[in-house]
Amino acid sequence: MEQVKKVTLRQLFRMKRRSEKIVWVVLYDWPTAMLADQAGIDMILVGDSVAMTMLGLPSTLPITMDVMLHHAQAVVRGVKRAFVVGDMPFMSYVTAEDAIKNAGELLRVGCDAVKLEGGESVAPIVKAVVSAGIPVIGHLGLTPQSVSLLGGYHVQGRTADAALKILTDAQALEAAGAFGVLLENIPTEVAKTIAENTSFLTFSIGGGPDTAGQLLLSHDVLGLTLGLKPVFAKSYANIAEQIKSAFQAYEREVRSGQYPSEEYLSHMRDGEYEKLLKRLDN
């Protein structure tokens, strides 16, 4: 059997140098991870968006390290090739000590790197985690853990001042040793400016095409988003419709007696049922 080679940071930087796009997806479980890996996806994020997509919570804030570790373990079991990033949940990286400990837990269960939100203000934390030997990617623009501060899930960086702040934040992350930054829901021009004025890996989720790679949530890709779907989120299937119609067909067949039909039954050995009936008669 052919040995599958794991994607490494070196390989990701090589892809950037060769202008080969890096494909990144957010997912949370073993079967989806296995299928994405087999499909050739380069990177997987075990995101704290699990709160909203899988657990029906209104924001990412209730997610704890325990939840992240639970999902990270499942994802890692399904992956042979992709580079797996574990999301650091809200309040898990307030101090450098906490950050190193919690990032270490994500690596211990098999993640290859961690992601955390923020720019200049978290640069010392990023530096400490990287110094502990843990690869870190930053997250700027619409940072869901600051949804209260941002006043909702809106496009960020629409003015020159705001764009400059995001650029300064990205440069601070790079100087702190982050291997890249995820740019969420910002204007295309701003993402392009950041890609052109930094040397690390830039990724876009709703920031246009000018970054080294793209990220989408698997729920959006698969058409399984039941809540709000952002404008930038493209769906390549309508799994929600398929799931619903499968449940409807099952419901119909059970009620009508069509399921379980002969092909789904097992039977006693020849003559054993008759023996059983006889014994019950005695």
Tokens standing for 96? 């450098």
Q: How far apart are CA 113 and CA 178, in angstroms?
A: 10
Residues 213-242 that bind ligand KIV (CB under 6 A): 215, 217
- Minimum Å distance from CB 50 to ligand KIV? 7
Catalytic residue among 20, 120, 184, 263: 184
Nearer to ligand KIV, 21 or 252 (CB): 21
Q: Residue 224 is which amino acid?
A: L
Nearest to 86, CA basis, from 51, 45, 119: 45
Does residue number 26 form part of the binding site for ligand KIV (CB under 6 A)? Answer: yes
Q: Cα dist. 100→23, 80, 146, 182 in Å?
A: 27, 26, 21, 20
Residues 95-154 that bind ligand KIV (CB under 6 A): 144
Residue 106's H or E segment, with its range, is: helix 96-108
The answer to whether residue 184 is catalytic is: yes
Q: Residue 153 is which amino acid?
A: Y
Q: How far apart are CA 182 and CA 147, in angstroms?
A: 17
Does residue number 41 form part of the binding site for ligand KIV (CB under 6 A)? Answer: no
Nearer to ligand KIV, 78 or 144 (CB): 144
Residue from 16, 25, 43, 48 that binds ligand KIV (CB under 6 A)? 48
- Minimum Å distance from CB 58 to ligand KIV? 14
Does residue number 87 form part of the binding site for ligand KIV (CB under 6 A)? Answer: yes
The residue nearest ligand KIV at its CB is: 47
User: Which stretch, 2-10, 41-49, 105-113, 246-254, contacts ligand KIV (CB under 6 A)?
Assistant: 41-49
Contact 28, 50 (CB under 8 A): yes
Does residue number 49 form part of the binding site for ligand KIV (CB under 6 A)? Answer: yes
Tokens standing for 74? 């499942």
- Minimum Å distance from CB 114 to ligand KIV? 12
Nearer to ligand KIV, 26 or 190 (CB): 26
Residue 116's H or E segment, with its range, is: strand 113-117
Nearest to 56, CA basis, from 239, 233, 240, 227: 227
Does residue number 205 form part of the binding site for ligand KIV (CB under 6 A)? Answer: yes
Q: How far apart are CA 262 and CA 120, in angstroms?
A: 66
Does residue number 184 form part of the binding site for ligand KIV (CB under 6 A)? Answer: yes
Location of structure tokens 């039954």? 265
Residues in touch with ligand KIV (CB under 6 A): 26, 45, 47-49, 87, 144, 182, 184, 205, 215, 217
Catalytic residue set: 184
